[in-house]
Amino acid sequence: MPTYALRVKLTYAPGSKVGVNTWHIRTAGAPIPGPLSVVTLIKNWYTAVAAEMFPTDMKADYDGTLTEVNSDTPALVGGITPFTVAGSQTAASYGPAGVGFCVGWKTSLASRQGRGRTFISPISLGAFQADGTIVDTRLTPVKTACTALVNGSIADGNGAVVIYSQGTPKGGVPPAKGHGVARDIVGTSTNDKVAWLSSRRG
């Protein structure tokens, strides 16, 4: 099954003003232009996250393109239904630049090659508690959305969200250059603590 990189651009007011989340998906065959169920799962995830964590002037954009990975002649696929998701929280009210939260994604392989992470930063100032953790009433819907994405991915017969790794498992054989292994996500975890990316502070 072909595997593709899907990039979602985040735009916001403070710090670097732009960031990118890179997802990987597999499909049953070459994607047909139009809506793609696994992309809809990712859109729904951003919709839930944005409602709790994004100010109204922060948004997540997907341009409708996919970049094939794991191929010596990678294809660039266009025409997938794009999406734009904007926040619902107070405009221009952000926490520290580059600081937000991190979602962990799990596969059946319990090692570094079988784990993935999605960073969301910055986030609304109102999402932080006085002790620096994330407000429970904001984090709970995010966790629910993460579970929905995992369950939807598992149930999707035409594709899945995957963790794509070009690393070499302990004792394994290194993959050929430009190739790796895609493993379906089967679980998720989101800790009630902040995470940060230094590249999004400046």
Q: Look at 24-28, 120-124, 174-178, 198-202 and tell me which has the smallest mean pLDDT.
A: 198-202
| More confident: 39 or 15 | 39
Range of the domain at 63: 3-200
Domain count within the chain: 1
- Cβ neighbours around 15 below 10 Å, total: 19
CA dihedral (181, 68, 18, 137) in degrees, to 10, reads -50
Amino acid identity, position 191:
N
Report, as an integer, the average pLDDT of 139-163. Answer: 97
Residues in the chain: 202
Percent of all residues in the chain with a pLDDT value above 90, rounded to a whole number: 79
pLDDT for 202: 41
pLDDT for 183: 95
Amino acid identity, position 135:
V
pTM of the complete model: 0.92
Kind of pairing, strands 3-11 and 18-27?
A: antiparallel
Mean pLDDT of the chain: 92
pLDDT for 28: 93
Whether residue 122 is preceded by a cis peptide bond, meaning omega within 30 degrees of 0, is yes
Q: What is the 3-state secondary structure (H, E, C) of the chain?
A: CCEEEEEEEEECCCCCCEEEEEEEEEECCCCCCECCHHHHHHHHHHHHHHHHHCECCCEEEECCCEEEECCCCCCEECCECCEEEECCECCCCECCCCEEEEEEEECCCCCHHHEEEEEECCCEHHHECCCCCECHHHHHHHHHHHHHHHHHHHHCCCEEEEEEECCCCCCCCCCCCCCCEEEECCEEEECCCCEECHHHCC
Phi and psi, residue 175, nearest 5°: -70, 160
